[in-house]
Structure 1
Amino acid sequence: MTELYQIHYPLDNNSLQARPQVLAMGFFDGVHLGHQAVIQAAKEQADRLGLPLAVLTYTPYPGLVFEKQALPWRALTPLKQKVELLEELGVDRVYVLNLTSALAALSPEQFVDQVLMPLQAKAVVAGFDHLYGRREEQADMAHLAEYAKGRFIVEAVSKTTLVNQDVKVASRNIRQKLAEGDADFVKESLGRPHQTSGYVVHGDARGRTLGFPTINIWTSEEESLPGIGVYVVSVEIAGKRVLGMASIGRNVTFEKGRPVTVEINLFDFSKEVYGEFVKVDWLHYLRGEVAFSGAEALVEQLKKDREDSLKYFEEN
């Protein structure tokens, strides 16, 4: 099981419990294909050197520390999910370094001497564009060997692009496409479907009267939901994996000005599951939210949505 350490600058050697190790560093939000390439390169270094593999990541998101945010920032992968994904990639330890003004004031050389060296890094691996050190003199991976002074191996991993596209795999691009509802782009960039989690809560129970009963999901504000629309989904619930279709929207057919809700119609599932914790994989965007003339028109569209969802599952 991956060990998790929450650490703060200046570093306390007792809380680090560090030993010689290979260190992959980055924010790793999404643990997308580019991040996976970094972890794989670090894993190969760790195997070659016979050392554990550790990840150095940060909290909170750097943009929250350095810039005023116009909108609330939400993670593609909250810390718990990020650690789980890193564990699947063979990471032995995750160090979560609190990103503070004091840490951000370090020069690149000080960052190496006062952060990387106490972590006993014998090799440091990161994406080619990873930056460290205070803003006015931030350094990239091309300069890390200069500051390492032969004390550890340095490896920079080149950018990852989508197959048949000259599009860099990047968390910022994924967030933008997720907000636009492009679940297929997100899935290709992550190497898996985007996943959110939450609890089944009570809704209006209107779907039941329409012949399309739904579970309503309360999702934490720290998670990133896709943009408003109707999606094909796969849901892990009550120990089962169930297929279905989901609506993220304001239920505009029946009432305007409602808050955004997540409602999922599960196929071949009829249990009462209030309070259950669920994980939702967002597989494919079907359509946008529409204000229908009434319940009859909505039901006809829901029938088509179900057909389109089942067709997607047959083809995929």
Structure 2
Amino acid sequence: MQVFDVIPPLAPTLRPAAPIVLALGFFDGVHRGHQEVLRRARAEADARGAQLGVMTFDVHPAVIYQHVPADSVKYLSTRARKTELMAQFGVDLLYFVHFTPRFAALDPQTFVDEYLVGLNAAVVVAGFDYTYGKQAVANMATLPTYARGRFDCITVPAALRDGSKISSTHVRSALDAGDVDLANQLLGYAYETTGTVVHGEARGRTLGYPTANIETPNAERLPAIGIYTVALQVDGRWVPGMASVGRNVTFGAGRPVTLEINLFDFHQDIYGRSVRVRWLHYLRGEVRFTGAAGLVAQLAQDEAQSRAYLKELTR
């Protein structure tokens, strides 16, 4: 897969030589709804013997349209993760358009002329709710008018779960509630975050449950405070364990939120390593214990439940 940065205006050198099928969307999380768009676009590209391109953006549109501070946005998929997922779903050409104020100010016709026609689209595929300007006049229903016969338009209906539309907002809400099980069902895969193993307070070791303390990039969205069954990827190997997202309230008030992972049957020194966390199952909320003994007893129960869940997962 080839990846391109598009800094407006679109450079003529980025125009593919042959017509392509072009899928549109921000694709945060590349969830099951997004996957339907990509599958439909891939099928169309295969039928035409064409490459599949995706046009997405470098930042969430809210950064420009709603003046949300760029460093406050928590993504389901950072650029690196989105790129990885796009490759998995058969994308050939991935265009990250830099969502500048100039780009945001384009009227619908100019957007279509400069970017969709400019990228040599023979077919444009997007979800039913995709917009490219003011929603009332720049939606998939009006796209054929702006296309002026230069490309075909395919609108993909909503993907549903229990009668509700699968959306990035739905996934975020699930994660913010700690419901990683639901988030994973909506995504169609296990949610992942990244980070670096850093030194913590080393209290877990004294309790018999040593932890890897993970410093997570600011742009990534962690699940809510709670205890989870997870897997941690170290040097290409996935190691099962249990994670705590919380403030260690047993040991004092006003503590910062940290991510600590106790790995099962793993004893290597991994300080400073870059790792990935795969979020598998919610166990419970954070509890303040009156002493270390109560916490240790609960950790033993958490480990038993996690091992039982992982055993079922591999059947």
TM-score (norm 2): 0.96
Q: Counterpart of 1:298 in structure 2: which amino acid?
A: L
RMSD: 1.5
Secondary structure of 1:141 counterpart: coil
Q: Counterpart of 2:65 in structure 1: which amino acid?
A: F
Distance in 1, Cα, partners of 2:178 & 2:240: 19
Aligned residue pairs: how many? Answer: 312
Preserved contact between residue 26 and residue 57 of structure 1 (Cα < 8 Å): yes
- Report the counterpart of residue 148 of structure 1 in structure 2: 147
- 1:90 Cα deviation after fit: 0.7
- Report the counterpart of residue 74 of structure 2 in structure 1: 74
Out of 208, 219, 243, the residue aligned to residue 211 of structure 1 is: 208
Secondary structure of 2:289 counterpart: coil
Distance in 2, Cα, partners of 1:113 & 1:239: 44
Preserved contact between residue 201 and residue 274 of structure 1 (Cα < 8 Å): yes
Task: Note the alpha carbon deviations across 1:23-44, whole angstroms, 9 max, x for none.
Answer: 0010000000000000000001
Is 1:3 matched up with 2:7?
A: no
- 1:16 Cα deviation after fit: 4.7
- Report the counterpart of residue 268 of structure 1 in structure 2: 265
Range that drifts further, 18-27 or 117-126: 18-27
Q: Unmatched 5+ residue regions in structure 2?
A: none
- Report the counterpart of residue 112 of structure 2 in structure 1: 112
Equivalences for residues 130-209 of structure 1 within 5 A:
130-133=130-133, 135=134, 138-162=137-161, 165-209=162-206
Distance in 2, Cα, partners of 1:146 & 1:139: 10
Q: Unmatched 5+ residue regions in structure 1?
A: none
Preserved contact between residue 232 and residue 282 of structure 1 (Cα < 8 Å): yes
Distance in 2, Cα, partners of 1:275 & 1:227: 25
- 1:101 Cα deviation after fit: 2.1
Q: Counterpart of 1:257 in structure 2: which amino acid?
A: G
- Report the counterpart of residue 295 of structure 1 in structure 2: 292
Preserved contact between residue 107 and residue 137 of structure 1 (Cα < 8 Å): no
- Report the counterpart of residue 40 of structure 1 in structure 2: 39
- Report the counterpart of residue 284 of structure 1 in structure 2: 281
TM-score (norm 1): 0.95
Distance in 1, Cα, partners of 2:153 & 2:160: 22
- 1:150 Cα deviation after fit: 1.4
* Fraction of identical pairs, as percent: 46
Range that drifts further, 11-20 or 225-234: 11-20
Preserved contact between residue 241 and residue 261 of structure 2 (Cα < 8 Å): yes
- 1:137 Cα deviation after fit: 5.3
Out of 226, 239, 243, the residue aligned to residue 242 of structure 1 is: 239
CA 1:136 to 1:181, structure 2 compared with 1: closer, same or farther past 3 Å?
A: closer
CA 1:60 to 1:138, structure 2 compared with 1: closer, same or farther past 3 Å?
A: farther
